[in-house]
Structure 1
Amino acid sequence: MKNILFYIFIFIATCNVFSQDLKDILEQESADTTFLVASTFNGTRLLNGHSVETRKEGVLEFLISHRFGRVNSGFDQLFGLDDSNIRFGLEYALNDRLTLAIGRSSFEKTYDAYAKYRLLQQKTGENPFPFSLTVLGSATEKTIKDYEPDEKPSFSDRLTYTGQLLIARKFNPNLSVQFAPTIVHFNTVPESIDPNDIVSLGFGARVKISKRVSVNGEYYYNINPFKSQDVKNSIAFGVDIETGGHIFQLILTNSVSMIEKGFLAETSGDFFNGDIHFGFNISRAFQIKKAKNSNGLKYNDD
């Protein structure tokens, strides 16, 4: 846990330094003529992965993610519904830019913690800026006892780290796209021939079809996957439904894991061969502290 806290501390400190420099350069504009672009995506998750969005200051968000078994497992397994994996998570926005979070997944009994920081936000008006940029740093610990008693891994061996850039643009009220270069570091790998650092490029999009409903797609391409395993690229399609304080996502994906190290580096299912997991994400946001617009800029949802 000390290692996790250390990396999160370094991550936050670095982000604050760079953010202040960027803020001085990019936010010298009039609040009357420059607008922040809001709601690039409906929530903090695109599908499996994160979106560029962060919550407003003082918001506590409770997230439940669920993935069932493979649809092609047949009627005996009720097309995957007999099997399930679940993740519970809590996210808290310390301010409009910085979110801290913890979570626990039943898959491999994994605990995760992450910090998410919005460095830049898309703007329109007199002084526009073309995209939003958010950085993510996370650490996970796998606690499942899938080893022999005399081969128990150390705490460090069970850790994995992820660094990610989330770059998104809202082209119009109905279309948003995202690019997500990512690196996942494994302290321990399955075999000696496997790389400790997995590099992946993520692509995603949202198409809004009504005021509260949108269709999303997400794809991650692994540049250097594990060599000892038949790893597939993660694919997901889904529907977002926004209902007040809730965001409900229905998902079809070939990934069973709901954290980066799992769905990016360890997905084994072939989406186009029927290895599809039905699942959902649901979130509920609670405003537990009064928010303030510290930069004085107005928001534009269009």
Structure 2
Amino acid sequence: MLSSLRTLFIATGTLVAVLGFAPAAHAQTDLLGELEKQTADSTRREVVAATFKGTHIINAQSVETPGAGTLAFLIQHRFGTLNSGAYEFFGLDQAVLRLSFEYGITNRLAVGIGRTNIEKTFDGFVKYKALQQTTGAHAMPVTVTLLASSAITTLKFTQATNVPERSTASRVDYAYQVLIARKFSPGLSVQLMPTLIHRNYTPLAGMQNDVYSVGAGLRQKLTKRIALTADYFYLLPGYVADNFHNALGVGVDIETGGHVFQLHFTNAKGMSEKFFVPQTTGNFFNGDIYFGFTVARNFTVKSQLK
């Protein structure tokens, strides 16, 4: 009898110990699994998206490209200067327009063409996202996009304007930029833009064929769909810096469904690099400010091309 009771107590104690250990072991297993998951998440590399919401900030192009198979149609419009007076309806009677198309060959490579009515100029560019900002293991801190563009004026030069007709080569300008951007937080992005403009023709002695500039831009989100934007180009010392002004622009981006609507104020009249970097004549702080807007609409055409 005593032997049977001893055996029963031992069996009962063993069962209680096993049952008590099982939840602890299960909890420990869950904890280890969660730690392994967090470790895996922290080492996974992820690309930082939407550093800027559009391919342009204000004057400057951003590091963004349209994406593979996406065609972007841009309408860029500038009125006259605000200080032109009531007779010109504070600039609204005047207009400068640029229409352009941008196409993403891949997610990192894009091409574009545009036309502006200033000097009846056509322009084109190639844009390649060489590096992409990432998080996780071996994170890349910035996005780097390379931009090369050219522009040609088709304006007719006649004796009536006292300007001799120019050759095709003398009508062409080139722009080269390295766009370096970092998205510091979901709301703040900053971009730096070392820039070289090469002009085949300069009308006056002493004018630089090569113009160097350093640009900076930013985007700060204010709400879910509205962001403050700005960009600025500092001309390095030389003839151009002494006789022209640094381009400055401030504005807001408004996301409205399928497109981004941009409103801005800037002292630059032209909307391609050959104009706003070396040829900005307006002084922003003297009221030489052009009000303008940009409307960008994206179309997915890749599936239609197959």
Length-normalised TM-score, structure 2: 0.82
Tell me the equivalent position of 2:59.
Answer: 48
- Please point out which of 110, 113, 116 is paired with 1:102: 113
Q: CA deviation at 1:108?
A: 1.2
8 Å Cα contact 2:233-2:246 kept in structure 1:
yes
1:139 to 150, 154, 159: 150
Aligned AA (1:180): M
Query: For residues 281 and 153 of structure 1, what CA distance do their matches in structure 2 show?
Result: 32
In the aligned structure 2, how far is the partner of 1:169 from the partner of 1:59? Answer: 24
Counterpart check, 1:174 vs 2:191? no
Which deviations, in whole Å up to 9, do the C-alpha atoms of 1:223-275 show, x marking residues without a partner? 04545972000000000011122111001000000000100000000000000
Native 8 Å contact 1:245 1:284 kept in 2: yes
Which residue number corresponds to residue 15 of structure 1? none
Residue of structure 1 in register with 2:72 after alignment: 61
Structure 2: distance between partners of 1:95 and 1:148: 47
The residue that corresponds to 1:33 in the other structure is 44
Number of the residue aligned with 1:10 = none
CA distance in 1, matches of 2:276, 2:157: 19
User: Which residue number corresponds to residue 98 of structure 2?
Assistant: 87
CA 1:194–1:168 in 2, change beyond 3 Å: closer, same or farther? same
Extract structure 1 runs of 4+ deviating beyond 4 A.
29-32
Within the alignment, does 1:70 sit opposite 2:81 as a pair? yes
Q: CA RMSD for the aligned pairs? A: 2.0
Secondary structure in structure 1 of the residue aligned to 2:67: coil
Q: In structure 2, what is the Cα distance between the partners aligned to 1:88 and 1:240?
A: 19
The structure 2 residue matched to 1:112, chosen from 106, 123, 126, is 123
Distance 1:284-1:145 versus aligned 2 partners, 3 A rule: same
**Cα distance in 1 between the residues matched to 2:207 and 2:49:** 41
CA deviation string 1:131-170 (max 9, x = no partner): 0000000010011224427821000000000000000000
Note the residue ranges of structure 1 that are not aligned, 5 or more in a row.
1-28, 292-302
Partner AA of 2:100 in structure 1? G
Give the distance between the partners of 1:259 and 1:43, measured in 2 at CA: 16
The residue type paired with residue 160 of structure 1 is D
Equivalents in 1 of 2:259, 2:286: separation in Å?
A: 33
Higher alpha-carbon Rg: 2
Tell me which amino acid in the other structure corresponds to 2:197: V
Q: Residue 282 of structure 2 aligns with which residue? A: 269
- Distance change in 2, residues 1:125/1:111 (3 Å): same
Code of the residue aligned with 2:67 in structure 1: it is: K
The residue aligned with 1:203 is 216
Percent of residue pairs identical: 44
1:127 matches 2:157: no
3-state DSSP class of the match of 1:275?
coil
- Relative contact order, CA 8 A, sep 6+: which one is greater? 1
Call closer, same or farther: CA 1:273–1:90 in 2, change over 3 Å.
Answer: same
Distance 1:58 1:152, change over 3 A: same
SS in 1 for 2:277: helix
Bigger shift: residues 241-250 or 277-286: 241-250
Match of 1:158 among 171, 186, 198: 171
SS of the residue 2:276 aligns to: helix
User: Is the alpha carbon distance of 1:66 and 1:225 closer, same or farther for their aligned partners in structure 2, counting shifts above 3 Å?
Assistant: farther
Q: Give yes or no for contact 2:129–2:146 (8 Å, CA) kept in 1.
A: yes
Residue 267 (structure 2) aligned to one of 254, 267, 271:
254
Cα contact 2:235–2:241 (8 A) shared by 1: no
- Match of 2:302, SS state, is coil
Count of equivalent residues: 263
Instruction: Tell me how far apart the structure 1 counterparts of residues 241 and 131 of structure 2 sit (CA, whole Å).
Output: 39
In 1: Cα distance, 2:224 partner to 2:157 partner: 46
Unaligned runs of 5+ in 2: 1-39
Q: State the secondary structure of the residue aligned to 1:76.
A: helix
